[in-house]
């Protein structure tokens, strides 16, 4: 069985973008659309609230966690017209970094 891929997205809102407006868009548009993809196990958005043991602000405004069960299907679904629109809107809101990950286990990769 193929391991699930977790995509971690670190993002900062673009200047002039409001956190309340972004969260409203994410809750009404981004999260439901991506969570409806057959390839996606789950998609969760977190607001960074600080750094543990420090008064310094977090280096990112938000973190997204996307658990993808099937990367091939995800690629197909991500190229749809709906997802292209969502991706374009997302790029208007934020400057993201997408990190692909795999779980580290004792099993051979």
Mean pLDDT by 10 residues, the chain (109 residues): 86 97 97 97 97 95 97 95 94 96 76
Determine the pLDDT at residue 19. Answer: 97
Contacts for 105 with CB less than 8 Å, ≥ 6 apart: 3
Query: How many domains, the chain?
Result: 1
CATH number of the domain at 73, please. Answer: 3.30.70.100
The answer to whether residue 109 is domain-embedded is no
Determine the pLDDT at residue 2. Answer: 66
Determine the pLDDT at residue 107. Answer: 67
**pTM surpassing 0.85?**
yes
Determine the pLDDT at residue 4. Answer: 84
What CA–CA distance (Å, rounded) separates 57 from 94? 18
Q: Is the dihedral of CA 106, 39, 67, 102 positive or negative?
A: positive
The answer to whether residue 106 is domain-embedded is no
Query: Which structural domain range is residue 22 located in?
Result: 5-50+57-101
């Amino acid at each position: 069985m193929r391991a699930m891929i977790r995509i971690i997205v670190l993002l900062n809102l673009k200047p002039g973008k409001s956190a309340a407006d972004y969260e409203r868009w994410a809750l009404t548009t981004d999260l439901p659309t991506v969570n409806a993809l057959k390839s996606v196990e789950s998609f969760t958005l977190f607001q960074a609230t600080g750094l543990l043991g420090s008064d310094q602000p977090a280096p990112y405004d938000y973190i997204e966690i996307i658990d993808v069960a099937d990367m091939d299907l995800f690629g197909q679904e991500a190229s749809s017209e709906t997802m292209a629109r969502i991706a374009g809107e997302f790029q208007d809101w934020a400057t993201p970094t997408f990190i692909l990950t795999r779980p580290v286990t004792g099993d051979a990769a």
